[in-house]
Protein backbone atom coordinates (compact mmCIF):
# COMPACT_ATOMS: atom_id res chain seq x y z
CA UNK A 1 0.00 0.00 0.00
CA UNK A 2 1.47 3.35 -0.94
CA UNK A 3 1.74 6.26 1.48
CA UNK A 4 -1.30 8.12 0.17
CA UNK A 5 -3.46 5.02 0.58
CA UNK A 6 -2.13 4.48 4.12
CA UNK A 7 -2.84 8.13 4.92
CA UNK A 8 -6.40 7.79 3.63
CA UNK A 9 -6.91 4.47 5.45
CA UNK A 10 -5.98 6.19 8.72
CA UNK A 11 -8.65 8.77 8.02
CA UNK A 12 -11.48 6.34 7.19
CA UNK A 13 -12.59 5.66 10.76
CA UNK A 14 -12.73 9.40 11.46
CA UNK A 15 -15.31 10.12 8.77
CA UNK A 16 -19.08 9.66 8.94
CA UNK A 17 -20.09 6.54 7.04
CA UNK A 18 -22.44 8.53 4.85
CA UNK A 19 -19.59 10.76 3.61
CA UNK A 20 -16.59 8.40 3.62
CA UNK A 21 -16.56 7.37 -0.02
CA UNK A 22 -16.98 10.89 -1.38
CA UNK A 23 -14.43 12.50 0.96
CA UNK A 24 -11.82 9.78 0.45
CA UNK A 25 -12.25 9.92 -3.34
CA UNK A 26 -11.85 13.70 -3.34
CA UNK A 27 -8.81 13.62 -1.06
CA UNK A 28 -7.24 10.83 -3.14
CA UNK A 29 -7.63 12.98 -6.26
CA UNK A 30 -6.16 16.04 -4.54
CA UNK A 31 -3.22 14.16 -3.04
CA UNK A 32 -2.45 12.26 -6.24
CA UNK A 33 -2.52 15.55 -8.14
CA UNK A 34 -0.18 17.16 -5.60
CA UNK A 35 2.20 14.21 -5.87
CA UNK A 36 2.19 14.41 -9.68
CA UNK A 37 2.75 18.18 -9.66
CA UNK A 38 5.63 17.89 -7.21
CA UNK A 39 7.20 15.06 -9.23
CA UNK A 40 6.94 17.14 -12.41
CA UNK A 41 8.49 20.12 -10.66
CA UNK A 42 11.37 18.02 -9.33
CA UNK A 43 11.79 16.09 -12.55
CA UNK A 44 11.59 12.65 -10.93
CA UNK A 45 9.13 10.43 -9.09
CA UNK A 46 8.95 11.37 -5.44
CA UNK A 47 11.10 9.49 -3.01
CA UNK A 48 9.45 8.09 0.09
CA UNK A 49 10.85 10.99 2.13
CA UNK A 50 9.50 13.54 -0.36
CA UNK A 51 6.08 11.91 -0.31
CA UNK A 52 6.10 11.84 3.51
CA UNK A 53 6.91 15.55 3.47
CA UNK A 54 4.03 16.22 1.08
CA UNK A 55 1.61 14.42 3.40
CA UNK A 56 2.95 16.24 6.47
CA UNK A 57 2.38 19.54 4.70
CA UNK A 58 -1.15 18.46 3.76
CA UNK A 59 -1.96 17.94 7.41
CA UNK A 60 -2.51 15.34 10.09
CA UNK A 61 -5.31 12.91 9.12
CA UNK A 62 -7.33 13.83 12.23
CA UNK A 63 -7.27 17.53 11.36
CA UNK A 64 -7.96 16.97 7.67
CA UNK A 65 -10.91 14.70 8.51
CA UNK A 66 -12.32 17.27 10.92
CA UNK A 67 -11.98 20.00 8.33
CA UNK A 68 -13.51 17.85 5.58
CA UNK A 69 -16.59 17.20 7.70
CA UNK A 70 -16.93 20.74 8.98
CA UNK A 71 -15.92 19.85 12.52
CA UNK A 72 -12.81 21.99 12.68
CA UNK A 73 -12.67 25.11 14.75
CA UNK A 74 -10.49 26.97 12.20
Q: Could you read off the pLDDT of 9-59 as tens digits, one per residue? A: 999 999 999 999 999 999 999 999 999 999 999 999 999 999 999 999 999
Instruction: Report how many helices (DSSP H) and strands (DSSP E) the chain contains, helices first.
Output: 4, 0
Environment class of 33 (CB within 10 Å of its CB; exposed 0-12, middle 13-18, buried 19+) = exposed
pLDDT given at position 7: 95
User: Is the pLDDT confidence value at 72 over 70?
Assistant: no
Contact 68, 15 (CB under 8 A): yes
The dihedral built from the CA positions of residue 56, 30, 42 and 49, taken in this order, carries a sign that is positive
User: Is the pLDDT confidence value at 74 over 60?
Assistant: no
pLDDT given at position 71: 73
pLDDT given at position 68: 87
pLDDT given at position 70: 82
Amino acid sequence: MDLIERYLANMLVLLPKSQRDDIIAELRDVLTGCREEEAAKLGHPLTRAEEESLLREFGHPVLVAAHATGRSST
